[in-house]
A and B are shown apart, each in its own frame.
Chain A
Amino acid sequence: MEGLFFNVNSGYLEGIVRGYRNSLLTGQNYSNLTQCETIDDVKLQLGPAYGDFLASLPPNPSTSSLAGKMTDKLVSEFRYLVAQATGSTAQFLKYLTYGYMIDNIALLITGTLHERDTRELLERCHPLGWFETLPVLCVATNIEELYNSVLIETPLAPYFKGSLNHQDLDELNIEIVRNTLYKNYLEDFFNFVNTHPDFAGPTQEVMTEILQFEADRRSINITLNSFGTELSKQERRKLYPEFGKLYPEGSLMLSRAEDIEGVALAVSAIADYKTFFDAVGLNQGGGLGGMGGSDGKSLEDLFYQKEMDMSKLVFTRQFTPAVVYGWMKLKEQEIRNVTWISECIAQNQKERIGNFISVF
Chain B
Amino acid sequence: MSGAVGREPVFPTRQSLGLMKSKLKGAEIGHSLLKRKSEALTKRFREITRRIDEAKQKMGRVMQIAAFSLAEVSYAVGGDIGYQVQESAKQARFRVRAKHENISGVLLPQFESYTKEGINDFALTGLGKGGQQIQRCRETYARAVETLVELASLQTAFLILDEVIKVVNRRVNAIEHVIIPRTENTIKYINSELDELDREEFYRLKKVSNKKQRDVAAADAEILAARQKEAERLAQNGTPAQEAKKAEEPEVTDVLGEQEDTDVIF
Residues of chain A having any CB pair with chain B under 8 Å: 63-64, 103, 106-107, 110-111, 113-114, 116, 121, 124, 126, 173-176, 178-179, 182, 217-218, 221-222, 224-226, 228-231, 239, 287-291, 298, 300, 332, 336, 339-340, 343-344, 347-349, 352
Contacts and interface: CB of A to CB of B under 8 A. Distances in A.
Contact of A225 (B74, B75, B132): B132
Contact of A221 (B75, B80, B129): B129
Contacts of A103: 79
B124 A229 contact: yes
Contacts of B129: 217-218, 221, 300
A205 B48 CA distance: 68
A121 B67 contact: no
Contact of A340 (B64, B75, B125, B136): B75
B83 to A, nearest CB: 6
A298 B136 CA distance: 13
A208 to B, nearest CB: 20
B123 A229 contact: yes
A336 B136 contact: no
Interface residues on B, range: 20 to 34
Nearest to A288: B132
Contact of B67 (A64, A224, A228, A347): A347
Interface of B: 64, 67-68, 71-72, 74-76, 78-80, 83-84, 87-88, 120, 123-133, 135-136
A228 B127 CA distance: 12
Given A124-B83, A225-B132, A290-B132, A176 B71 contact: no
12 contacts: A106-B84, A116-B87, A124-B80, A176-B124, A217-B129, A231-B124, A287-B132, A300-B133, A340-B75, A343-B74, A347-B64, A347-B68
B76 A300 contact: yes
B193 to A, nearest CB: 78
Contact of B132 (A107, A116, A300, A344): A300
A45 to B, nearest CB: 19
A217 B129 CA distance: 9
A344 B71 CA distance: 8
Given A179-B127, A287-B136, A339 B83 contact: no
Contacts of A182: 128
Given A224-B132, A229-B120, A347-B68, 9 more contacts: A116-B87, A175-B127, A221-B129, A225-B126, A231-B127, A239-B127, A287-B132, A340-B75, A343-B74
A64 B75 CA distance: 11
Contacts of A174: 84, 87-88
Contacts of B67: 347
B72 A173 contact: no
B93 to A, nearest CB: 14
Nearest to A100: B79
Prevailing SS type, chain B contact patch: helix
B123 A228 contact: yes
Contact of A289 (B78, B80, B128, B132): B132
Most buried by A among B68, B72, B132: B132
Contact of B78 (A116, A228, A332): A332
A65 to B, nearest CB: 12
A175 B124 contact: yes
Contacts of A218: 128-129
B74 A339 contact: yes
Contact of A343 (B68, B83, B126, B131): B68
A339 B78 CA distance: 10
Given A179-B128, A222-B127, A231-B124, A173 B88 contact: yes
Pick the most buried of B71, B79, B80, B124: most chain A CB atoms within 10 A of its CB. B124
Contacts of B136: 287, 290
A178 B87 contact: no
Given A222-B128, A231-B124, A110 B78 contact: no
Contacts of A116: 87
A204 B76 CA distance: 28
Contacts of B84: 106-107, 110, 174-175
Nearest to B130: A300
Contacts of A121: 83
A6 B178 CA distance: 103
Contacts of B80: 64, 124
A276 to B, nearest CB: 14
Contact of A339 (B75, B127, B133, B135): B75
A224 B129 CA distance: 10
A352 B64 CA distance: 13
B247 to A, nearest CB: 141
Nearest to A68: B80
> Most chain-A Cβ atoms within 10 A of its Cβ — which of B64, B83, B128?
B128
Contacts of B132: 224-225, 287-290, 298, 300
A221 B72 contact: no
B125 to A, nearest CB: 6
A149 to B, nearest CB: 23
A116 B78 CA distance: 24
Contact of A230 (B76, B123, B125): B123
